[in-house]
A and B are shown apart, each in its own frame.
Chain A
Amino acid sequence: MTKVQLKGVRKDFGAFTAIENIDLEIASGELVALLGPSGCGKTTTLRMISGLEVPSFGSILFDDKDVSEVPVQDRNVGMVFQRYALFPHMSVEKNVAFGLKVRGTPRPEIEERLQEILDVVQLNEFRHRFPAQLSGGQMQRVAIARTLITKPSVLMMDEPLANLDTKLRGEMRRFIRALQKRLGITTIFVTHDQVEAMELADRVAVIFEGHLAQYDAPDALYQRPNSIKIADFMGATNIFNAKVDASGQAQTSFTTLKLGPDEIGQGSRNASVILRSEVIDLLLTAEEAPADNTFAGVVTAREFFGATVNYSVTCGEEKIIVTEQSRRLVEIGQQVWLNIQPDRIWLIPEAA
């Protein structure tokens, strides 16, 4: 319900620049993930949006209005802290009800909303416990409940799912997503797990060392990263230098790849090609392969993950990772042929 904009925001801590000139626009009701390695400035960005930290330069706008002068209390934002920041001297229910109590919400309404949210985060049986008597995951859920109960117009979560087990993590993700959709809360979600970012977010903002490196929908970010660094961070493994010519052919050290129609007629240049491991077909005979973009190799290693298998295939000097559903298992040492469709190859120009 609130559109959030960061315009040329920069944050210095003394001589250290944590955030350098970020422009970010988060549409009303959108769920955006801030993704980046540790120390890149995700928490700092959230703290500036919440008002706990004042930007050194630039401005932050809620619904096109500059909020520099709006005190933290009046911004109606919610924040789930990375280290929970629960009130240690209050029981779970007092922690959760705190936000309503200080706003002077009538007691019956507090009771009702408290009950509702405790059911949602499944903490009803722990309502009289103190934070010190909870597990990490339970504390995290208290922190989430404490924030959600105030119905913030901008919700910020700093790695809210980091301490949960896989099952609860999935449940909490779906819960956050459903609630966010239902209430239409503009949500900014910090994570350094790219899978989580892609699953949850409408758009993902990747931050590297205080720079906004790319801001895109999950599929675009995954399939069309704008730099090698992002491709790498998003888990791409097969990145190779190539010479691209005007006819749309990419010359790599192991083969010549035909590129999609978009790349034809752009002049010759140096670039990196990205071959996503899951779009490469692994074939056991040369006959069944299409004529284009097929090249030979030998399986040199195999990693079994249950549902999927990763093969390392050595082609010439290079090693190419291929991911397959584990319907069959190819033996190490087997001669194979790899094929990739031209329009599945992503090209990153040299400079990036």
Chain B
Amino acid sequence: MKNPKPPELARHRRERLWMMLQLLPVFSVLTILFGGALVLAVLQSLGFAPWFGVNTFPDFSYFGALWGSYSFWQSLALTLYYALMATFISLVMGVLLALAMVRMFPGKSLYKYLYKLPLMIPYTVGIALAVIMLGNGGMLSRLAAFAGLISDPSEFPQILKTHYGWGIIAVYVWKQAPFVTLTIYAVLLGVGRETEEAATILGASRWQTFFQVTLPQILPGIVSSTLIIFAFNIGAFEAPFILGGGYPDTLPVVAWRYFNDADYTLQLQGMATVVSIALIASGILFTYLALYRRYERRIGRN
């Protein structure tokens, strides 16, 4: 038997209308600025650019050329490697710091201010710091030479401008670990210590308590913070441009080179690169979210 649907109250109808009205400004900004730009980018990457005197729409050759070249896949691998590595390290460090912060330790109140510092300093300053600290002839190499570990600063192992990307990852982590800490710390404060204590009394070891009790409860914070930093990392340009190892570049740098080329028809190739980045990033993030949703449903959260 079907339950009769209660009639909608006029009051509720008015409220709904009012809510839609309130949402209108946000919607229009999103659609026009964001959606419009996306549509234009996709159109251009498919050969629609009459303002350059190019209109071969629909033309998949830009994507074909891009995806057909070996260097694209190299660039993609590099991009993903930097982004994933930095996200993972930031996540682990951020969670560890957040866990430490809900416990007592000497100097905690000072530390609570200190760790937020990188959040307020721009990326470019971080990059400059990396150059000063980690570069050849930088502080670290001089210190090492001074301590007698190496005979000359130039012998210091190359950290920046290699395809291992330690410099890039260091800058990302320096900036993003505090962000993860901030997010997870807030979540941990809400969760409280009692479930951990209950688990301990029930006989769980530290590891069991962390993985079976604490982690599932802070997972929403982990998912949202990693989502944000990964999305940033995969599209970030300055750090790999300045601290990267040159050809093959990461995808955003590749796109930038196309855009900056004297041959403006390469703009379309650049657009194809940008759209590729967007596709890949959203594919990964979507899969990630879908997996998380599945987990949430499994543990009965709606």
- Which residues from chain A sit less than 8 Å from chain B, CB to CB? 50, 52, 72-73, 76-79, 81, 83, 85-91, 98-99, 102-103, 130, 146-147, 150
Known contacts A102-B203, A102-B212; A130 and B198 CB within 8 A of each other:
no
Cross-chain contact B213 with A73 (CB below 8 angstroms): no
Residue of B nearest to A47 (CB): B197
Cross-chain contact B202 with A146 (CB below 8 angstroms): yes
Select which of B194, B216, B217 is within 8 A of A81 by beta carbon. B194
List 7 A-B residue pairs with CB atoms under 8 Å apart, sorted by A's residue number: A77-B201, A79-B198, A81-B198, A86-B198, A91-B300, A102-B203, A102-B212
Cross-chain contact B203 with A99 (CB below 8 angstroms): yes
Residues of B within 8 A of A72 (CB): 197, 200-201
Select which of B204, B205, B299 is within 8 A of A89 by beta carbon. B299
Known contacts A85-B195, A102-B205; A73 and B217 CB within 8 A of each other:
no
Select which of A89, A103, A146 is within 8 A of B301 by beta carbon. A89
Residue of A nearest to B197 (CB): A52
Cross-chain contact A85 with B301 (CB below 8 angstroms): no
Interface: B151 (CB within 8 A):
no
Known contacts A102-B202, A130-B300; A85 and B197 CB within 8 A of each other:
yes
Per the bound structure, the CA–CA distance linking A87 and B194 in Å amounts to: 10
Cross-chain contact B203 with A150 (CB below 8 angstroms): yes
Interface residues of B in 286-302 (CB under 8 A from A): 299-301
Interface: B31 (CB within 8 A):
no
Per the bound structure, the CA–CA distance linking A186 and B177 in Å amounts to: 47
Q: Is the interface of B mostly helix, strand, loop or mixed?
A: helix
Chain B's nearest CB lies how many Å from the CB of A92? 10
Residues of B within 8 A of A86 (CB): 195, 198
Cross-chain contact B201 with A102 (CB below 8 angstroms): no
Interface residues of B in 165-205 (CB under 8 A from A): 194-195, 197-205
Residues of B within 8 A of A88 (CB): 195, 217
Select which of B201, B204, B217, B300 is within 8 A of A52 by beta carbon. B201
Interface residues of B in 203-227 (CB under 8 A from A): 203-205, 208, 212-213, 216-217
Known contacts A73-B205, A90-B299, A102-B212; A85 and B200 CB within 8 A of each other:
no
Number of inter-chain CB pairs below 8 Å: 63
Cross-chain contact B199 with A98 (CB below 8 angstroms): yes
Known contacts A87-B213, A90-B299, A102-B212; A50 and B195 CB within 8 A of each other:
no
Per the bound structure, the CA–CA distance linking A90 and B200 in Å amounts to: 16
Which 7 residue pairs of A and B lie closest in terms of their CB atoms, listed nearest first?
Answer: A99-B202, A85-B194, A85-B198, A102-B204, A89-B216, A130-B300, A72-B200
- Which residues from chain B sit less than 8 Å from chain A, CB to CB? 194-195, 197-205, 208, 212-213, 216-217, 299-301
Per the bound structure, the CA–CA distance linking A85 and B194 in Å amounts to: 6
Residue of A nearest to B296 (CB): A89
Residues of A within 8 A of B199 (CB): 87, 98, 102
Cross-chain contact A73 with B203 (CB below 8 angstroms): yes
Chain B's nearest CB lies how many Å from the CB of A106? 15
Chain A's nearest CB lies how many Å from the CB of B188? 14
Per the bound structure, the CA–CA distance linking A52 and B198 in Å amounts to: 10
Select which of A76, A83, A99 is within 8 A of B194 by beta carbon. A83
Per the bound structure, the CA–CA distance linking A185 and B107 in Å amounts to: 43
Among A52, A73, A99, A103: residue with most chain B CB under 10 A: A73
Residues of A within 8 A of B300 (CB): 89, 91, 130
Chain A's nearest CB lies how many Å from the CB of B37? 40
Residues of B within 8 A of A73 (CB): 200-201, 203-205
Known contacts A89-B216, A90-B299; A98 and B204 CB within 8 A of each other:
yes
Residues of B within 8 A of A98 (CB): 199, 202, 204, 212
Residues of B within 8 A of A103 (CB): 203
Chain B's nearest CB lies how many Å from the CB of A89? 4
Chain B's nearest CB lies how many Å from the CB of A81? 6
Residues of B within 8 A of A52 (CB): 197, 200-201
Cross-chain contact A89 with B217 (CB below 8 angstroms): yes
Residue of A nearest to B216 (CB): A89
Residues of A within 8 A of B213 (CB): 87
Residues of A within 8 A of B202 (CB): 78, 98-99, 102, 146-147, 150
Chain B's nearest CB lies how many Å from the CB of A341? 49
Residue of B nearest to A129 (CB): B300
Cross-chain contact A102 with B194 (CB below 8 angstroms): no
Per the bound structure, the CA–CA distance linking A263 and B144 in Å amounts to: 89
Per the bound structure, the CA–CA distance linking A81 and B213 in Å amounts to: 16
Question: Known contacts A102-B203, A102-B204; can you find 4 more A-B pairs with CB under 8 A?
Answer: A73-B203, A85-B194, A102-B212, A146-B202
Per the bound structure, the CA–CA distance linking A50 and B201 in Å amounts to: 7
